[in-house]
Amino acid sequence: MNYLSNKQGFLGIDNKFNFKEKVVVVPFGLEKTVSYGSGTKNGPKEIIKASHQVELYDEELNCEPYKKIGIKTLKPFKIEKNITNALNKMSKINEKILSKNKFPLTLGGEHSITPGCIAPFVKKYKDLILLHFDAHADLRESYNGEKFSHASAIRRCLDYKNVSLVSFGIRNISQSEIPYLKKNSSRINIFWAKDKHKWDLKKFKKMIKNKTVYLTFDVDGFDSSIMPATGTPEPGGLFWYETLKIIKLACKNSNIVGADINELAPIKGFNSYNFLVAKLAYKILSYKFFVK
């Protein structure tokens, strides 16, 4: 695998610092099916750029997590124009990372990357829970004639019979998705944004206890007041600390084996949104490796 130098990669760590990597960051700026705002292809490079300003010391964990984790970033590479070929490439990249017993963190790009990301995990593990943060259910069979649309990302993941779903923050779903949701209620659990004040996180803990989990985070899961830099921002979403609480709970009670963060569409001159996503990525990795 061809890596960027430490200084050019995620977090911008000094090149003099040597470590054996446990994490491989994959920049995968796929943008093929966006249906409102655009710009997700620029997400990965802006997240990595912003990550160079993230404080390496974590006051909650009282350490500099990167020193014990070891994080390398793949050099940017060509993404195929055909979405099926692009997703196959994403799958092969994660398969290679998994074969080396590393943790892949993919930075998108649009949410359509996720079925490609999880394909090797589905092969490796008997059962896989998809922990999904999003404003949208993404359970459409297709959208604008494309079955691999960002609006169908989670539906494509559920095509795998050994995948079940726990979603947080959903507040936008189409009528056409409801029959599928009802039919598959035994393996789909949604914590609706409208019910946020009465979420039972003990119930969530039981769902994931000692299970294998893949985390997929669409940044429009955040409330649009703190994350407008996305193609389809929605009011009524998640805020920073309540989001971290859920992720920390997941890391403490399950085996998170991989993750992706997607749908950042950078807005020129508004770097705070890029920074938020960079810090989110670092917190996910920090919790994964330090919270037991």
Specify the pLDDT at position 146: 73
Residue type, 279: K
Domain ranges of the chain: 23-290
Backbone angle region of 109, left / alpha / beta, with phi > 0 → left and psi within -120 to 50 → alpha: left
Query: What's the confidence (pLDDT) of residue 38?
Result: 62
Residue 109: its pLDDT value, please? 86
The Cα–Cα gap between 102 and 99 comes to 8
134 pLDDT higher than 90: yes
Using the predicted structure, report yes or no on whether residue 16 has a pLDDT greater than 90: no
The confidence band for 150, taking pLDDT boundaries of 50, 70 and 90, is confident
When pLDDT is averaged across residues 80-92 and rounded to a whole number, the result is: 93
Q: For 262, list phi and psi in degrees, rounded to 5.
A: -140, 175
The pLDDT value given to residue 33: 58
Nearest-angstrom CA–CA distance, 210 and 233: 33
- Please report, as a single letter, which amino acid is at residue 39: G
What pairs with residue 242 in β-bridges?
none
Tell me: the pLDDT tens digits for 173-222?
Answer: 999 999 999 999 999 999 999 999 999 999 999 999 999 999 999 999 99
Type and span of the H or E element at 212: strand 212-218
Rounded to the nearest 5°, which phi and psi values hold at 135? -85, -25
CATH class of 23-290: alpha beta
Mean pLDDT on 271-275: 97
What pLDDT was estimated at residue 34?
53
